[in-house]
Chain A
Amino acid sequence: MSTAIESGLYVFLLASFVGFEVIRRVPPLFHTPLMSLTNAVAGISLVGSLVIAGSDKGVVSTLLGTIAVTASTINVVGGFLITDRMLKMFRPRGAAPKDA
């Protein structure tokens, strides 16, 4: 097994456990913001899309890559902005709510 695959599997294993551990004690109030943030982080597929869109390997590949970059940018930008809006609703009492 190549070292790249092996270290990749280690990274996958450890990161999975970290994912379990860091959100284990999430209070119900934060279920939706957490879901929204993980959604934004899932937009990491942008990284792969960029490589395909920019590597100039023929028309079809570039086209698929460009659509993929557009789609994952929607996910990233939308995901983070939505999470931000949600958190604004959790401002401490007394602070004036800015919008929505």
Chain B
Amino acid sequence: MNDYIIPLCYVAAGGLFIVGLKGITQPKTARRGLRAAEAGMLLAVVGTLLHKEIVDFKWIILAFVVGSTIGALMAVFVPMTAMPQRIALSHAFGALAAGLVGTAEYYNHQPEIGAFTMTAITLEVLLGFLTFTGSLMAFGKLHEILPGRPQVYRGQNVVNLGTLALAVAAGVWLITDPSKTFLFPVVAVLAAAFGVMLIVPIGGADMPTVISLLNSYAGLSSVAMGFALDNKALIIAGALDGSAGLLLSIIMCRAMNRSFTNVLFGAFGQADTSA
């Protein structure tokens, strides 16, 4: 019975997410779109809870209560002017979840993990942790906990891309030999470090664009999670997010007359003029 209900829940959830995103782009349908997306999320969660692998509900209920309380408090008490950093912080939490799920998946199944699943887990952890620290940085900058202006130094792009390359190299090594457990924390830490470095050279008006881009990364991390767990709801929602986030950041750049590659690679060549 559940073999039919669960996939149907996921299919309906995927459809509702599409209706939701479509709706929110127009004033008339925005509210309906929001309701559709909420219903989609509810269906996805209900479908998952019916899963036969889930045998113990007490921790889930506890986490639901704590998470809903914190989420609701943050939503209600944040002033409207602080919206962008609130979205960034929300991202950080979602991406942290993705990273942690990837971590648990790896340690539950190693050393016998197929190459495809291991690739998915590695991508999930890479994107999850870099989005986590990146979003926290964006939050800190917008909230003026950290200095908001772009921080640039000589050779920054080399250092940043070098860190990413190292993380990817460690990830590839891990994919070829999942039994090398020491590599897993290396991938996670390098990804987290890259997330910080990614945001250091970005500041001011470029921030909302970057938050949208981080949104896209969080979506792609969900896609990877969907492949690792063979869950289509994750793939649909993640892909929608990934592409919508990317396109939105490009649209926002265009609206502000900024070059998208400049935002991607930080203050590269623009820091002097913006002061």
Partner of A16, one of B26, B34, B243, B251: B243
Interface set of A (CB-CB < 8 Å, partner B): 4-5, 7-8, 11-13, 15-20, 22-58, 60-62, 64-87, 89-90, 100
Do A52 and B240 have beta carbons less than 8 Å apart? no
Do A25 and B34 have beta carbons less than 8 Å apart? no
Residues of B within 8 A of A61 (CB): 104, 107-108
A13 CA to B136 CA in the complex, in Å? 30
Instruction: Return the CB mask of B47-70 against A: 1 if under 8 Å, else 0.
Output: 011010111110110111011101
Residues of B within 8 A of A51 (CB): 48, 51, 53-54, 229
Q: What 8 pairs across the A-B complex have the smallest Cβ distances?
A: A73-B67, A77-B71, A19-B243, A54-B54, A81-B75, A15-B239, A78-B71, A75-B94
Do B240 and A18 have beta carbons less than 8 Å apart? yes
Do A48 and B56 have beta carbons less than 8 Å apart? no
Do A54 and B101 have beta carbons less than 8 Å apart? no
Do A22 and B22 have beta carbons less than 8 Å apart? yes
Given contacts A64-B104, A80-B34, A86-B80, 17 further A-B pairs with CB under 8 A are A11-B235, A15-B243, A22-B22, A30-B27, A38-B240, A42-B222, A42-B237, A47-B45, A49-B101, A51-B53, A52-B105, A53-B60, A65-B100, A75-B90, A75-B91, A76-B67, A80-B38
Report how many residues on chain B are interfacial, defined by Cβ distance under 8 Å: 101
A-B contact pairs, 5 of them (CB 8 A): A26-B25, A54-B57, A67-B100, A76-B94, A81-B71
A71 CA to B126 CA in the complex, in Å? 18
Partner of A15, one of B27, B67, B240: B240
Residues of A within 8 A of B21 (CB): 19, 22-23, 34, 37-38, 41
Do A28 and B226 have beta carbons less than 8 Å apart? no
Nearest A residue to B44, CB-CB: A47
Q: Does B31 contact A (CB under 8 A)?
A: yes
A34 CA to B23 CA in the complex, in Å? 9
Q: Min CB distance, B221 to chain A, in Å?
A: 7
